[in-house]
Amino acid sequence: KAGVTQTPRYLIKTRGQQVTLSCSPISGHRSVSWYQQTPGQGLQFLFEYFSETQRNKGNFPGRFSGRQFSNSRSEMNVSTLELGDSALYLCASSPQGVTEAFFGQGTRLTVV
Amino acid sequence: AQSVTQLDSQVPVFEEAPVELRCNYSSSVSVYLFWYVQYPNQGLQLLLKYLSGSTLVKGINGFEAEFNKSQTSFHLRKPSVHISDTAEYFCAVSASAGKSTFGDGTTLTVKP
């Protein structure tokens, strides 16, 4: 079974721009979660989608948004990028129920 | 709400020595507990999980952890470490599907 795939792996953007990151979950997994990882704040939960609906949301500003498609693939969007948005963005998928998360390799976003 | 405290930010140890990485958690509801490992520029990989049942949980790569409800702890142990165990280790708790709260991580450095 293929793992969680995140694209692109690396991204450089300029302040004020917007960016879209993509995540393809493991086949059959309907839950997709997004996390931001930075040296200062560690791993922070952004949001989770299940069957195209946002089910959980972390404490991030409205510039951070996401969506999930009918095939469970998910995208997250960050608008009006700030330097502090530079981070490793990790996507994780899970089968139904409370189980472990299966993580992708992440997208390293650098805002300059 | 849940919180996780990893008591050691860095743990240096010599090869073939035993190691313990400490994790305490706080939650007003029952939670599931996890340990993940992260290698440089990679996503997180599940080492082991506690969902219910036996409080001693065995995982991959020779790691094990013990759930202690009275002390709200979930410490990770390995009797003999290898150079290849050098990585960052994260303790996590989850009370609802698709959302985990992570500790700040412990960097394990195994020296020859």
- pLDDT, tens digit, 9 for 90 and up, residues A40-57: 889 999 999 999 999 999
> With an 8 Å Cβ cutoff, are B100 and A4 in contact?
no
The residue of chain A nearest to residue B30, with distances taken between CA atoms, is A98
Query: Which residue bears the tokens 């946002």?
Result: A54
Give the CB-side neighbour count of residue A16, counting CA atoms within 13 A.
Answer: 0
Would you call A56 an interface residue with chain B, using a CB distance cutoff of 8 Å? Answer: yes
Alpha carbon A55 to its chain centroid, in Å, reads: 14
User: Quick check: A79 and A18 in contact, CB under 8 A?
Assistant: yes
> With an 8 Å Cβ cutoff, are B104 and A101 in contact?
no
The confidence score (pLDDT) of residue B72 equals 94
What average pLDDT does range B69-97 have in this prediction? 94
Bond before A8 cis per omega within 30 degrees: yes
Task: Kindly give, in sequence order, each residue whose CB lies less than 8 Å from that of residue A33, ignoring residues fewer than 6 positions away.
Answer: A45, A46, A47, A48, A49, A56, A91, A92, A93, A94, A101, B98, B99, B100
The confidence score (pLDDT) of residue B31 equals 87
Q: How far apart are CA B40 and CA A62, in angstroms?
A: 30
> With an 8 Å Cβ cutoff, are A100 and B49 in contact?
yes
